[in-house]
Amino acid sequence: MEKWEHAVLRYKQDRYGTVMLSLAQGPAYIDGSVNLDQSQSSESVVRQLDVLGEQGWQLVSVQPGADITEYWLKRPTPAHKESSSPA
């Protein structure tokens, strides 16, 4: 059975138009998230999703909210990726 790890990319734009992206994964859900990028454009979300896609993350859900939009992602756990690759 496949095992997955999960992450959430949070997008928040303040009243001045500054965009804050943060990624929470694993224990970071409890410990807080790390600031990934700040810019004046929502294009930063697309760029960050592209980077995460190159790292094996798949977008599975988008949950828009009044202040924050969450992009939920998953990818096979590292142990599963190694065991499923052909020898």
What CATH number corresponds to the domain at position 47? 3.30.1410
Give me the residue label for tokens 């202040």.
67
For position 32, what pLDDT does the model report?
42
Confidence grade of residue 82 (pLDDT, cut at 50, 70, 90)? low
- Number of structural domains found in the chain: 1
**Is residue 12 over pLDDT 90?**
no
pTM over 0.85: no
Question: Which residue in 31, 30, 33, 43 sits closest to 8, CA to CA?
Answer: 33
Helix (H, G, I), strand (E, B), or coil: what is residue 32? coil
**Residue range 62-74, pLDDT digits in tens:** 999 888 889 999 9
Q: What is the DSSP letter of 3?
A: -
Q: Are 10 and 68 within 8 A, CB to CB?
A: yes
Expressed as residue numbers, the domain containing 12 is 4-84
